[in-house]
Structure 1
Amino acid sequence: MIKSNAKQRTSDLLEGEIGATLKRITIPMILGMVMMMSFGLIDTFFVSLLGTDPLAAISFTFPVTFTVISLNIGLGIGTSAIIGKLQGSKALTKSQHYATGSIMLSVLLVGALALIGFFTIEPVFKMLNATENLMPYIFDYMGLWYLSSIFLAMPMVGNSVLRACGDTRTPSIVMAAGGGLNALLDPIFIFGLGPVPAMGIKGAALATFIAWIVGALWILYILAVRRKLMLPRLLSLSELRESSREILKIGLPAAGANMLTPVAGGIMTAVVASYGAEAVAAWGVGNRMESIASIVVLALSMTLPPFISQNVGAGQVSRVKEAYSLTLKFVLIWQFLIFLVMWGLSSWIAVAFANEVEVSVLIQLFLMIVPLGYGMQGIIILTNSSLNAMHRPMTALTLSVIRLFVFFVPISVAGSFFFELKGLFAGTVIANVAMACVSLFVFKRAIADFENDTSPVSEQ
């Protein structure tokens, strides 16, 4: 039964009607991400009840935590591209070895990065302009968060294996359950309940730690025991070296591209910090709301690549072109509707997440300007994920560098210089529009090269 289901999913990605197939695999992903990110927003809400300083502190952690998460995302992208291509070409035994290697590799690399991060908490956050009064909160949160990040690696990369095999329902369940457990434990550990003492911001990190441990054990059971998509053993050193080489060819550039985002975010946080803790708190809430508003785009960025990878493995370029075009048209319409909703609800959202009037005003300003560029941002995200799925990670990395350091940071900082925070927010919109145009041009060139080349991707 397990093999039959796996073959059916692969067949659907290669032969099924494109719109219906993308809808089938994306909806479960959206539902899972809605729940997970909603719980993340709840996390921010509970911390906001502790006051402006704890909220500002956790806002400072976003660029740093996302750096570690970006490594997982990159490894997941590499894993998905490799596993998807192997599934499309029916190399199922090799797929098992690569799935096992990808999880082992993620634990090793994330563990090393977390160790470095743990011993550099103070210099890193001082570089981000965190003030002395915020440092105790940052230490309380990040000390435990770095330890827990090792357990995040397994479900994140493991879910990429499942998606590459055409299964988006199971990853959605794992994501939603982890987010739900985190949200359930948050108020208990933050504010205390019965014998459990109030731990403040450290309680939020502990809730995350427990949720990720549960997720790691669960995904290993699914992959190794229930679905047999990975080996129920560790790889030998030679086996790990072989699988790692192929995964890292795509995973490292993808991870690098994702890590550039928090680097740029750190620069922007430092700029925003010059306007005070209230501005940083508003920036943090706005970024969390951006994650919620971009759920559909992020879900498509996880479900479109397996579709593309499997069709690349099968040599079906016409399906790749049609899927890309269809998703972009949908995203532009959807994200404009999201902008209208956020504009209309901006005052209500601002009041819900801020106790101080100044923070509330700045949150509302963010929500009335920045979401206008979310549709164009969707084009950028989906183009990069599509290029990685086509085994063109260096092109995607180059686009990320251009996006962040040619458009996003310079234009936003220039806007801030001339028009303060309002100019900074407007600058993000202008940068997204410019970069979306570049992304479309590059993807069309990549597709043309693909059509003219009988061997468009390297053989695994």
Structure 2
Amino acid sequence: MTFGLVDTFFISMLGTAELAAISFTFPVTFTVISLNIGLGIGTSAVIARLLGANLHEQAKETATGALMLAFVLAVVMALIGIVSVEPIFSLMGASEDLIVHIKDYMHVWYAAGVFLAMPMVGNSVLRAAGDTKTPSYVMAFGGLVNVILDPILIFGWGPFPALGIQGAAIATLISWAIGLFYIIYLLAVKRQLMQARLLNWPELKRSCGGILKIGLPAAGANMLTPIATGVVTSIVAGYGSIAVAAWGVGGRLESIASIVVLSLSMSLPPFISQNLGANKLDRVLQAFNLCIKFVLLWQLFIFVLVALGAHFIADIFTDDPQVASIIQLFLVIVPLGYGLQGVIILTNSSFNAMHLPMAALGLSIVRLFVVFVPFAYIGSQLYDLSGLFVSAVVANLLVAILAFSWFKKVLHTQVAELNLSEKVS
């Protein structure tokens, strides 16, 4: 998440037009990232369950197949993305002068996406094996490289030419490429969690079947979020590029403010899948309840901090008073719903970990297109941007209640079925 935030910070120094351009790219870039997240969810769920059942060789084959699949899909997405930049962003409401900046950024970013896909899936393999520290080190190092390269390439420090918004994308590409080479070495050589060779077609088909069964619905569910964000961005675009610039900053800050929730959404599923493989559903219930309680309290604390510091945070990203005022309005309203959004995110990832991807997909559809987008449109029509922001909080409240009740019901049903089967045996 720091990649997007750091890029936004440095690009904001170029001007409001460049800031608006990078804000338009967020839904699209996150759509691609969501595909990788979905593959990672499928990979983590399958491998963790195999490891929980002590099927280590099958787990290694599955890890190898997952990385091969990630590479192929990333290349396909990059090719599609490069040829569709102009129609997609025009549809979102970007003006012709902004599309010039968007093309500069996205053409490089799509190429960088190939280098992102494999480390993300590789990190999921490590988490499935119980290692949550190494993935954080890998991504943190990449983030550090990006922080160093961003100003050098954007503003042209030293012998480097000033590349503007495109420099941010090049910095991202280099950072992710470094992470790719390290994660492959780690998995294939040092940890031996994958096979140090390419799989043949029967092996690839066998290893990817389980991943795609969970990963495709999970990817679809995750990709719905940026699609819905794109729809809402088009609504915000009706208020001008200044509003889009502020909306983009708010979206980047949301990712950072929700970072603990996102980390739990990556570490809780392997725990659930391993205990599912070992038929210890009581531990699944305990972990889920504990995480829900924690995120509600934690995100309430974050809301207080963000709301109190709204003026200071806005001044970091812009010196335009109109943009700053909208950022402040965003920060004193929308973060109130981050804890509720956390409940939804953790429930969604828990469904995937329980090998119930269609439930996760259904929850995402309800959240985004039955509740969030319609509420955002109605709120904006009634009370402009403030109404849109409030509607996001209300939408999260309604869906959080649904998500929590749904997962608890499913889990209690599975516990009852497990107890019955144990009695019969």
TM-score by length of 2: 0.98
Q: 1:444: how far off? A: 1.3
Cα separation, 2, equivalents of 1:222 and 1:366: 41
Q: Confirm or deny: 8 A CA contact 1:118 1:143 kept in the other structure.
A: yes
Corresponding residue number in structure 2 for 1:156: 120
Corresponding residue number in structure 1 for 2:264: 300
Cα separation, 2, equivalents of 1:164 and 1:364: 39
Q: Confirm or deny: 8 A CA contact 1:141 1:204 kept in the other structure.
A: yes
Query: After alignment, is 147-156 or 442-451 more displaced?
Result: 442-451
Q: 1:455: how far off? A: 11
Deviations 1:348-400 (A, max 9, x none): 11111112100000000000000000110010000000110000000000000
Corresponding residue number in structure 1 for 2:99: 135
Q: Confirm or deny: 8 A CA contact 2:31 2:226 kept in the other structure.
A: yes
Corresponding residue number in structure 2 for 1:368: 332
Give the secondary-structure state (helix, strand or coil) at the position aligned to 1:290. Answer: helix
Q: Confirm or deny: 8 A CA contact 1:70 1:259 kept in the other structure.
A: yes
- In the alignment, does 2:300 pair up with 1:336? yes
Corresponding residue number in structure 2 for 1:246: 210
Deviations 1:132-163 (A, max 9, x none): 11011000000011111011011100000000
- In the alignment, does 2:164 pair up with 1:200? yes
Which of 222, 225, 244 does residue 189 from structure 2 map onto? 225
Cα separation, 2, equivalents of 1:136 and 1:52: 14
Alignment: residue pair count:
420
Give the AA of the match of 1:250.
I
Q: 1:38: how far off? A: 3.8
Cα separation, 2, equivalents of 1:429 and 1:340: 15
Deviations 1:37-75 (A, max 9, x none): 345322211000000000000000001111110000000
Q: Confirm or deny: 8 A CA contact 1:300 1:382 kept in the other structure.
A: yes
Cα separation, 2, equivalents of 1:67 and 1:214: 23
Deviations 1:409-430 (A, max 9, x none): 1111110000000000000000
Which of 301, 309, 319 does residue 273 from structure 2 map onto? 309
Cα separation, 2, equivalents of 1:434 and 1:420: 21
Q: Confirm or deny: 8 A CA contact 2:42 2:212 kept in the other structure.
A: yes
Cα separation, 1, equivalents of 2:59 and 2:90: 44
Cα separation, 2, equivalents of 1:244 and 1:109: 12
Q: 1:445: how far off? A: 1.7
Corresponding residue number in structure 2 for 1:410: 374
- In the alignment, does 2:141 pair up with 1:177? yes
Q: Confirm or deny: 8 A CA contact 2:3 2:172 kept in the other structure.
A: no
Deviations 1:178-210 (A, max 9, x none): 111111100000001222100000000000010
Give the AA of the match of 1:148.
A
Corresponding residue number in structure 2 for 1:381: 345
Cα separation, 2, equivalents of 1:38 and 1:61: 16
TM-score by length of 1: 0.90
Give the AA of the match of 2:112.
S
Q: Confirm or deny: 8 A CA contact 2:282 2:415 kept in the other structure.
A: no
Cα separation, 2, equivalents of 1:295 and 1:52: 27
Q: Confirm or deny: 8 A CA contact 1:40 1:179 kept in the other structure.
A: no
Where in structure 2 are there 5+ consecutive unaligned residues? 421-425
Cα separation, 2, equivalents of 1:377 and 1:272: 21
Corresponding residue number in structure 1 for 2:12: 48
Which of 365, 369, 390 does residue 354 from structure 2 map onto? 390
Give the secondary-structure state (helix, strand or coil) at the position aligned to 1:230. Answer: coil
Where in structure 1 are there 5+ consecutive unaligned residues? 1-36
Corresponding residue number in structure 2 for 1:26: none
Q: 1:244: how far off? A: 1.1
